[in-house]
Amino acid sequence: MQKPKKLQKGDKVATISLSWGGAGELPLRYQTAKKQIQENFGLEVVETKNALKSADWIYKNPQARAEDLMEALADDSIKAIISNIGGEDSIRTLPFIDLDIIKNNPKIFMGFSDSTISHFCFYKAGVTSFYGTSTLVGFAENNEMHPYQIQDIKNTLFSSKAQGEIKQNTAGWTSEHLDWFNHKNQSISRTLQANTGWRFLQGKGKIEGKLLGGCLDVLEFLKDTAFWVSPEDWKGKTMFLETSEVKMSLDNFRWIIRNYAASGILKNINGLILGRPYDNLHWKEYDDILLKVIREEEGLNNLPIVTGMDFGHTCPTFTIPYGINAEIDSENKTFSIIESALVD
């Protein structure tokens, strides 16, 4: 994997709307995010050509969305690209993606949820990208960004060193919904819930594996496209998964995990980590399904499984670099990113 260059204060970063055009519909929240990025990290924030167009315009123009990404990559003055928000139709940009442009212009790309689609474009091009918060979510957090989120961005995007052990967020998490279209809510801090800790469901000793995964809902969109990866491509990987605000039903969760079993993916991976579900709903049932399918049905008794982790549709989060080596230590109950994801 090619590794992008780390960020430095003063660098220019571009925001982009590759799925839902929420940034154009929510100017106050977008400007809050822009201000908090600039103040917390000393970066200059600009928008891609169409980033602030209306949601309707963004929906009707998937080619323009892809062209925004290609243009931002080709622009030498831009050092990183941050997704404004997820959605459900980044998949429509795929016919217009030029993998050579990604390959020849390795830059930081960060986002989550529907950005899984774009991450797999970078992965196919052999460039590390970053599954992390988006402009309208973590960067626009009401009143101020979470300290855990600020430190994560500094550790992840501003350093060429391996992050090492990822610490659990002990200050509390939230996925409380405060309507973004009600401007008064922007000044109301969201209620934090106590973090009960990551759950190490099974596994022995230490394992290593390069990180690959994304939003479980969105990975289903990718199947049978040229951007999906074969079961063999999962060999030795540490799979990371998380579910969206749709709050996936237990049946769907079980069916998808069984599909990964039937396709041979689960037998090929070295470990699996799962993010905290939205509102922490179904966490116990998801854990039970993983153990039923992986341990009882597939006999993979030693495959390390860690759940309830601080990434995905929860706030604040740590950032996951694609294609970078990570370690699960089931004895000491730690998760570490042991390879650098960026270069000087």
DSSP letter for each residue of 161-219: S--EEPPP--S-BB-----TTSGGGGGSPPPPB-----EEEE--SEEEEEEEEEEHHHH
Q: Vertex 217, ends 232 and 234: CA angle to 5°?
A: 10
pLDDT of residue 167: 97
- What is the pLDDT at residue 295? 98
User: Which residues of the chain have a pLDDT value below 50?
Assistant: none
The CATH homologous superfamily for domain 183-337 is: LD-carboxypeptidase A C-terminal domain-like (3.50.30.60)
Q: Which of 341, 325, 319 is nearest to 166 (CA)?
A: 319
Q: Determine if the peptide bond prior to 316 is cis (ω within 30°).
A: yes
pLDDT given at position 140? 98
Gap between the Cα atoms of 155 and 114, Å rounded = 24
Burial class (CB in 10 A: 0-12, 13-18, 19+), 172: middle
Count of alpha carbons within 13 Å of 222, Cβ hemisphere only?
Answer: 24
Comma-separated ranges of CATH 3.40.50.10740 domains in the chain: 12-164
3-state helix, strand, coil in the chain (%, to 5): 40, 20, 40
Residues of the chain within CATH 3.50.30.60 domain(s) are 183-337
Q: How far apart are CA 203 and CA 214, in angstroms?
A: 22
Say what the pLDDT of residue 83 is.
98
CATH for 12-164?
A: 3.40.50.10740
* pLDDT for the residue numbered 106: 98
For residue 102, is it left (φ>0), alpha (ψ between -120 and 50) or beta?
A: alpha
Q: According to the model, what pLDDT value does residue 182 have? A: 97
271 membership: H or E segment, kind and range:
strand 271-275
Looking at residue 213, what is its pLDDT?
Answer: 98
Return the pLDDT at 171.
Answer: 96
